[in-house]
Amino acid sequence: MSFKSLGLSEALLKAVNKQGYTSPSSIQEKAIPLILEGRDLLASAQTGTGKTAGFTLPMLQLLSQAPQFRQRPVRALVLTPTRELAAQVYENVKQYSAFLDIKSVVIFGGVNQKPQVATLRNGVDILVATPGRLLDLHNQRLLSLSKIEFFVLDEADRMLDMGFLKDIKKIIACLPHKRQNLLFSATFSKEIKELATGILHHPVMVEATPENTTVVAINQKVYRVAKDKKTGLLIKLISEGNWQQVLVFTRTKHGANKLAKKLVSSQISTAAIHGNKSQGARTKALAGFKNGSVRVLVATDIAARGLDIPLLPHVINFELPNISEDYIHRIGRTGRAGASGEALSLVSADETTYLRDIEKLVGEKIAMSIIEGFEPDPNASTEPKKQGQGGNRQRNSGSQKSKGSNRTSTHRRPRRNKENRPENRPDDRRH
């Protein structure tokens, strides 16, 4: 199968060739022809398998073939849950539209809105956005969604998990009834499928890989370790392995900052990225990680859906996520686009339940090791440690349901004890 056989135009084939792609991925093979036919799509594909090109290429073709408007109103809207993912999708749109008369822009919070507004006023065809900034500019009457022909919801499950359902409904209410709708994600819960029925019209369901599975190119391993020895083990693995590019996940912003400082003190160049960081700091950290000046990037789950680092060799779960699906998205940062990768998890006794749920979700036992000098504490409790607000989301993968329908419930004011201080909570959901 070739990209040409999918019915793409010469301009798009030229852009794809420029990016070095020779043949379409499974999700691209299945999705592109259906989108070109004008069908609504509910598509599930493992992260790293080319979902963005799966919806961007056919959308660009249809937009380029349609009559052009003199004022260039926004005709396509791509909604993402995080700033990093929005920026990545925008970069892809620019790359694929290099030989087309198509203009695009990305808007998200955390930065000055004036440059975004100026670009919008000059006219754009494709708008990539996060929900908060989009609604903000729309409420200020600085953009119109009345001419939208294509609506793409990327990482729809994350949208609900982060409490964006109300915002999504508000945005949909601003769109014209007649439009083509595309929902893409790595996983689809029952709630996502229910959401889809309210958005999509006679949709086609496409699955490139089974839901909640991990890429076979990823070598997964668990290290059992005492909780207070995790940092030492991490330093040992990075230093003795001479690893030069490592993405490390923690559960909280405070934990990310604390770990980053310890790694820096051990002469390992490190940066942290999470919701409390300014957009400038996040962009700088990610750029350093990509160009090699930053050896380790410590991140919270905000980054799990938005980072696209080519040939990233190592992902480490310093702490297991308490929602099993997040494990899939974390380790999906490696083993992308056919490359191999390694995903390691440092598991203490209190994370035993999380590990069991993850193994149940992915349908396999993950290889386990113990390194001498970093043995687990035989007397430690296996009871999951209670976290601050947001940390006690349902743990058992069989009963996890992303509520998302009441965004304010995620922000109830907690008692101001140490665990509930903002810096100690799991990453915030304001984007």
Q: What's the whole-model pTM score? A: 0.64
User: Given this model, what pLDDT does residue 222 score?
Assistant: 96
pLDDT at 403: 37
| Residue 387, pLDDT above cutoff 60 | no
What the block records as the tokens of 137 is: 């500019």
The residue with greater pLDDT, 341 or 238, is: 238
E-only strand ranges, 169-228: 180-185, 204-207, 218-224
Please spell the DSSP secondary structure of 259-317, one letter per residue.
HHHHHHHTT--EEEESTTS-HHHHHHHHHHHHHTS-SEEEE-GGGTTT---TT--EEEE
The string of DSSP letters for 137-171 reads: HHHTTS---TT--EEEEESHHHHHHTT-HHHHHHH
Separation CA 209–CA 211 (nearest Å): 6
- Encode pLDDT of 97-126 as tens digits: 999 999 999 999 888 999 999 999 999 999
Query: What one-character DSSP code corresponds to residue 7?
Result: T
What pLDDT shows up at residue 412? 39
The percentage of the chain sitting over the pLDDT mark of 70, rounded to a whole number, equals 83
Confidence band of 429 (pLDDT split at 50, 70, 90): very low
What does the pLDDT read at residue 275? 77
Same fold, 4-207 and 218-400: yes
**Positive or negative, the Cα torsion across 302, 88, 106, 10?**
negative
In CATH terms, the fold of domain 218-400 is Rossmann fold (3.40.50)
Which residue, 392, 334, 80, is CA-closest to 218? 334
Inform me whether the pLDDT recorded for 356 exceeds 70.
yes
Per-residue confidence (pLDDT) for residue 102, from 0 to 100: 95
Task: Write down the CATH number for the domain with range 4-207.
Answer: 3.40.50.300
Note the Cα 239 to chain centre separation in Å. 28
Q: Give me the residue spans of the domains in the chain.
A: 4-207, 218-400
Which residues are within 8 A (CB) of 62 and not within 5 positions of it... i.e. 6 or more apart? 35, 36, 38, 149, 150, 180
**pLDDT single digits (tens) 281-294:** 888 998 899 899 99
Q: What is the pLDDT of residue 115?
A: 95
Mean pLDDT, all residues of the chain: 84
Structure tokens at 119: 């670009």
- Write the DSSP assignment of 393-422 as a string of letters: S---TTT-----S-GGGGGPPPP-SGGGSG
pLDDT 10s digits, 270-323: 999 987 888 788 889 988 998 999 999 999 886 556 666 767 899 999 999 988
